[in-house]
């Protein structure tokens, strides 16, 4: 093996260790402490759990805690591990996405009836934003969440969000990336 080949193997190994160490926190994250339910509820609709990783959940929970949020953080899974690993089975079946959005809408409505004065905040991340938006659209007119955030939402940027926004009492924040066109067209 030449000196160049050895150097490339070493560099590749170091890069792999660096990437793995950076990704490891996504694989082995501690669950967020329960929080005080009376201080509010954040529902985090997951992105696709590719490779079994709960992408964004730990960072969002930590950011909320750092910002002073004392309420409960609820991770909302909407697909199975194998669907997330293969990706397409998680996003292609529209009936499944609709069913999962209905489950989320039902949970929000039940929570609002149970605790009408406790804040409910909804966060959707990537494909979870599609599920969250659809859940908002499915809520009855008299049911609202206090605010919503869609982070890098995997839904058509031309989608009419007025139905979903009507179910949010406070601000709605939607973030996107200039690279979204790669996936959304």
Q: pTM above 0.85?
A: no
Q: Scan for tokens 């190994």, then name that residue.
A: 13
Which residues, 6 or more positions from 6, have their beta carbon under 8 angstroms from its beta carbon? none
> Sign of torsion, CA 34 35 36 40?
negative
> CA 59 → CA 26, 30, 55, 56, distances in Å?
9, 11, 8, 5
Structure token pair of residue 152: 């890098």
Q: Encode the chain (185 residues) as per-residue pLDDT tens digits.
A: 777 767 667 756 555 554 554 554 444 444 555 688 889 999 999 877 765 666 777 888 888 889 999 999 988 887 666 565 555 555 666 788 899 999 999 999 999 999 999 999 999 988 889 899 999 999 999 999 999 999 888 777 788 999 999 999 999 998 876 665 555 54
Beta strands, E only, the chain: 41-45, 72-76, 120-125, 147-151, 172-174
- 163, with CB counted inside 10 A (0-12, 13-18, 19+), is middle
The packing angle between helices 127-138 and 94-114, to 10°, is 60
């Amino acid at each position: 093996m030449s000196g160049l080949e050895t150097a490339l193997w070493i560099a590749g190994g170091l890069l792999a260790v660096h990437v793995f160490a950076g990704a490891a926190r996504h694989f082995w994250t501690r669950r967020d402490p329960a929080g005080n339910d009376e201080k509010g509820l954040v529902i985090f609709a997951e992105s696709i759990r590719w490779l079994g990783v709960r992408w964004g959940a730990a960072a969002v929970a930590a950011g909320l805690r750092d910002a002073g949020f004392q309420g409960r953080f609820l991770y909302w899974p909407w697909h199975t591990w194998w669907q997330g690993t293969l990706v397409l089975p998680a996003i292609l079946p529209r009936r499944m996405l609709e069913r999962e959005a209905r489950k989320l809408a039902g949970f929000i409505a039940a929570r609002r009836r149970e605790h009408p004065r406790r804040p409910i905040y909804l966060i959707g991340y990537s494909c979870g934003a599609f599920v969250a938006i659809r859940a908002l659209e499915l809520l009855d007119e008299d049911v609202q969440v206090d605010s919503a955030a869609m982070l890098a939402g995997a839904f058509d940027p031309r989608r009419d969000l007025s139905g979903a926004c009507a179910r949010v009492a406070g601000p709605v924040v939607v973030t996107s990336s200039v690279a979204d066109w790669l996936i959304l067209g």
